[in-house]
Amino acid sequence: MSAFINFDFYGAGNIGDDLMLAGFLSEFKDNIPMSCFIGRDSESQRRRFPQVAWVEDLPGRAALVNASDCLLGIGDTPFQTAGNHSMMKKLSADVDAIAGRDIPFFMIGVGAEAEARTQTDIARKFLWRVDHIWTRDEFTSRILLEDFGYSPERLSTGSDLANIWLSRAFANGMLPSSREIDLGICYYDEHTNGRDIRVLREFVREYSRDKKVQLFANETRDEKPYERWIYRKIMGAFGSLFRESRTEVFAPDYQNASLPELVNHFRRYNTVISSRYHALLTAAWAGCRVVGHGRGSKVNALAHELGIPLVENPISVSKLTEAVEHASIVERKKLEDLWRRAQYAVDELKTLLNIDYNR
């Protein structure tokens, strides 16, 4: 048995992608050979996940699809409208490529955005061929069932695969209360505008008068529209004030850092406000007080699942201030329930693939 991982977003710079893959692979070890095409520099992935054969050239992708005994879609949000529906189009092409071949196709730990409900036609082009899907939340399961017409017999609700790795990385639960940074902010919105920049600037200006703030990136690419680009916009108009205030900007060294090094900064925060799904989830596991920024439906769904406050758009200084004041620590029981659901999904997949648990 060999498997082709047919999601190709790994290694681009989003730490959440690594956390999901780490959770999944930690349960498979060397059970079956796995390969993945990513079409970019794969050095970071080769170092973190050597059990996967990483391929960078496009012709190699087609060969891997044809040579594999199973297709696996692992983690993230394939059901979305971002990127001109590129992921769903690639999945449709994969279904065409395996036409006539009786090989299994599974997706595990996947999510959906509410906006994807408008893409019923393109989703159904490949969903009919997916043998079983384990979603990361009830929200995604409802979209697949009610909007895409996916078979309930082939659908299970699990949770995000990152919970498996995070449960071990932060196994001690609550961390010491003496944390050096009062507030960590991970802000990203595909539609960030001048007004948002001004609001964030004023909020940070006010909050950092007597507290230490760090703006941090969970998507580490240094380009528009990601966090580091947004933070430069915030800083550019009043750089001198930032130098005088207790504010830092931080991005992990994605290309060279180990997986623990990518998330160790969460141990420094007392409170985290984030519009990034996995930054929010990691902060919860790290024992931070957390509050979500609802830039999209998947973050809203996670905030609801965690039982934490949520700042809705349009943001304002007063909304952000009030949300931080009411930020809460997520009950360990809730997090452990997420871990169990993710673990159960992986165990079910192992059963379907006839993999020895104890190998």
Whether residues 99 and 148 fall in one domain: yes
358 occurs within a structural domain: no
Q: Check whether residue 148 and residue 179 sit in a common domain.
A: no
Burial tier of 100 (Cβ tally within 10 Å: 0-12, 13-18, 19+): exposed
Contacts of 322 (CB under 8 A, 6+ apart): none
In a domain, 61, yes or no: yes
Q: 34 with 123, same domain?
A: yes
Asked if the structure places residue 240 within a domain, the reply is: yes
Q: What is the mean pLDDT of residues 61-90?
A: 84
Mean pLDDT of the chain: 91
Give residue 237's pLDDT band: very low, low, confident or very high (50, 70, 90). low
**Paired tokens of 195:** 């007004």
- For residue 183, count CB atoms less than 10 angstroms from its CB and return exposed for 0-12, middle for 13-18, buried for 19 or more: buried
Q: Are residues 133 and 217 in the same domain?
A: no
CA distance linking residue 297 with residue 317, whole number of Å: 22
The candidate with the shortest Cα–Cα distance to 313, out of 297, 326, 324, 301, is 297
Residue 29 domain-assigned?
A: yes
According to the model, what pLDDT value does residue 238 have? Answer: 55
**Do residues 203 and 195 lie in contact, with contact meaning Cβ atoms separated by under 8 Å?**
no
Same domain, 157 and 186: no
Distance CA 168, CA 286 (A): 11
Question: What is the average per-residue pLDDT within 32-49?
Answer: 94
On whether residue 357 sits in a domain, the answer given is no
Domain total of the chain:
2
| Domain range for 60 | 3-168+337-352
Are 329 and 6 in contact by the 8 Å Cβ rule? The answer is: no
- Give 151-176 pLDDT, tens digit per residue: 999 999 999 999 999 999 999 755 55
120-144 pLDDT tens trace:
888 888 999 999 999 999 999 999 9
Q: Is residue 359 part of a domain?
A: no
Same domain, 242 and 321: yes
Q: Is 56 in the same domain as 177? A: no
CA atoms of 136 and 140, how far apart (whole Å) = 7
62 within some domain = yes
Report the phi/psi class of residue 192: left, alpha or beta, with left for phi > 0 and alpha for psi in -120 to 50: beta
81 and 182, same domain (yes or no): no
CATH code at position 101: 3.40.50.2000
Q: Are residues 135 and 226 in the same domain?
A: no
| One domain, residues 76 and 220 | no
The number of beta carbons lying within 10 Å of the beta carbon of residue 319 is 16
Residues 152 and 16 grouped into a single domain: yes
Worst-scoring range by mean pLDDT, 76-80, 316-320, 346-350? Answer: 76-80
Q: What is the mean pLDDT of residues 311-323?
A: 95
**Which pair of tokens denotes residue 236?**
């550019």
- Would 191 be classed as within a structural domain? yes
The pLDDT tens digits of the residues spanning 183-205 come to 999 999 988 999 999 999 999 98
pTM score > 0.85 for this model?
Answer: yes
- Residue 156 CB partners (closer than 8 Å, separation 6+): 132, 133, 134, 135, 345, 348
Tell me the HSE value of 279 on the side-chain side, using a 13 A CA sphere.
26
Question: Does residue 49 share a domain with residue 20?
Answer: yes
